[in-house]
A = this chain, B = another copy of it.
């Protein structure tokens, strides 16, 4: 497997474009807010969506369009979530119909995504007006623009592509994602689009997505708020010419490995670029009797406001780590817990057998002052482990979210 440029357009047959449609009134014309992704060949497709009981209209519409297991394109806007408004559903359908018309496909073949403020009416006309120009500008170089267009409070685009072999053919898989705030995915995550030229059945595509997403996007948290718009969409157009993957064979395993790499990359960068974040927190709980318990412990640690604030202050307050484990409802024996902090500046043990150990405070501070820090917990009970990603809690998070809507 190797990384390559081109993101969602790296795989054969995919093109993309982005523009400033003016979805949010008064938004800067320099900030693109509308992206279009198109495959020249029909794609088998699978998606995972928010488990929030309140779902945005584009989530419902995309779920309906996915029932056939086939897609051709995606239209996605930032600046408005298109949720909880009287016309939300109609607007989502209208946007799909307009995109289908300019692309010469059926509305059922179009997925739609939105991200932004909830409860304010979407300027669907601005999107519809921008679509013909966008369709004309579809290009193999369009992934970068699309990755930028779906950003809201993100500060960096999240984009990746990898290639790997299936049955002697080179297959490419790429993706873009946005994260930042309201990130605590319970299935899929806030807008992620994955494209591949792999020949793979809809069933195997769905299985691969359901296998990989729980271990990647669902292990990220920024603020514990599961959004109404979470969507992770995977489209495969088969243009790589590999033997069709329709069983859980070597080809499937290679595909899952590549999908894991792509989703892990995007998930990790989503955590690192969490709203206001100054540090990426990677928490690995090992030595557990089950992966599920390790995941619950790890997620409880990276979700804790107190742990997040301590990492912001580079304060080796490991008691908060143990406390967050304790209220996770996952089984473990407090008297067996070992906690270490690590980063590019080194590694330090701060707790052993559930108790304080004497450690060098200056060294701990240096380790926690790095942009990427690791919290390593060993519960010394078994062989299962899980890694979750989060970020620190900063003044900037409060600043961004104290006045996001107005």
A376-406 CB contacts (< 8 Å) to partner B? 393-395, 397-406
Would you give the 0/1 interface string for A178-203, flagging 1 where the beta carbon is closer than 8 Å to chain B? 00011010100000000000000000
A263 on the interface (CB 8 Å rule)?
Answer: no
For A84, give its contact among B303, B306, B312, B351 (CB under 8 Å).
B351
A280 on the interface (CB 8 Å rule)?
Answer: no
* Cα(A298)–Cα(B327), bound, Å: 20
With contacts A305-B225, A310-B401 taken as known, whether A355 is within 8 angstroms of B86 at the C-beta atoms is: yes
A323 on the interface (CB 8 Å rule)?
Answer: yes
Interface size in chain A (residues, C-beta < 8 A): 66
With contacts A310-B405, A312-B398 taken as known, whether A118 is within 8 angstroms of B305 at the C-beta atoms is: no
Would you give the 0/1 interface string for A289-316, flagging 1 where the beta carbon is closer than 8 Å to chain B? 0000000000000011110011011011
* Cα(A405)–Cα(B321), bound, Å: 13
A39 on the interface (CB 8 Å rule)?
Answer: no
A265 cross-chain contacts in B, Cβ below 8 A = none
Binds B, one of A50-58, A68-76, A92-100: A50-58
A224 cross-chain contacts in B, Cβ below 8 A = 224, 303-305
A236 on the interface (CB 8 Å rule)?
Answer: no
For A306, give its contact among B119, B181, B305, B317 (CB under 8 Å).
B181
Would you give the 0/1 interface string for A38-80, flagging 1 where the beta carbon is closer than 8 Å to chain B? 0000000000000111110000000000000000000000000
* Cα(A394)–Cα(B305), bound, Å: 12
Main secondary structure of the interface of A (DSSP, over half): loop
A143 on the interface (CB 8 Å rule)?
Answer: no
A164 cross-chain contacts in B, Cβ below 8 A = none
A288 on the interface (CB 8 Å rule)?
Answer: no
- Centre residue among A324, A325, A394 by max chain B CB count within 10 A: A324
| CB atoms of B223 and A305 under 8 A apart | yes
With contacts A223-B305, A332-B53, A356-B86 taken as known, whether A313 is within 8 angstroms of B401 at the C-beta atoms is: yes
| CB atoms of A402 and B309 under 8 A apart | yes
Give chain B nearest CB distance to A350 CB in angstroms. Answer: 8
| CB atoms of B322 and A84 under 8 A apart | yes
Closest to A364 in B: B406
For A52, give its contact among B327, B395, B400, B402 (CB under 8 Å).
B327
Give chain B nearest CB distance to A343 CB in angstroms. Answer: 17
Closest to A332 in B: B53
- Centre residue among A55, A226, A326 by max chain B CB count within 10 A: A326
With contacts A327-B51, A404-B310 taken as known, whether A119 is within 8 angstroms of B304 at the C-beta atoms is: no
| CB atoms of A119 and B405 under 8 A apart | no
A86 cross-chain contacts in B, Cβ below 8 A = 355-356
Q: Sample 23 A-B pairs with CB under 8 A, ordered by A number.
A: A52-B323, A53-B327, A53-B332, A54-B354, A84-B322, A84-B351, A84-B355, A85-B355, A118-B322, A119-B318, A119-B319, A120-B356, A181-B306, A182-B320, A223-B306, A224-B303, A225-B320, A225-B323, A225-B327, A228-B322, A228-B323, A309-B402, A313-B404
Which 8 A-B pairs have CB atoms at the shortest separation, nearest pair first?
A118-B319, A313-B402, A54-B326, A309-B401, A52-B326, A226-B327, A119-B319, A53-B326
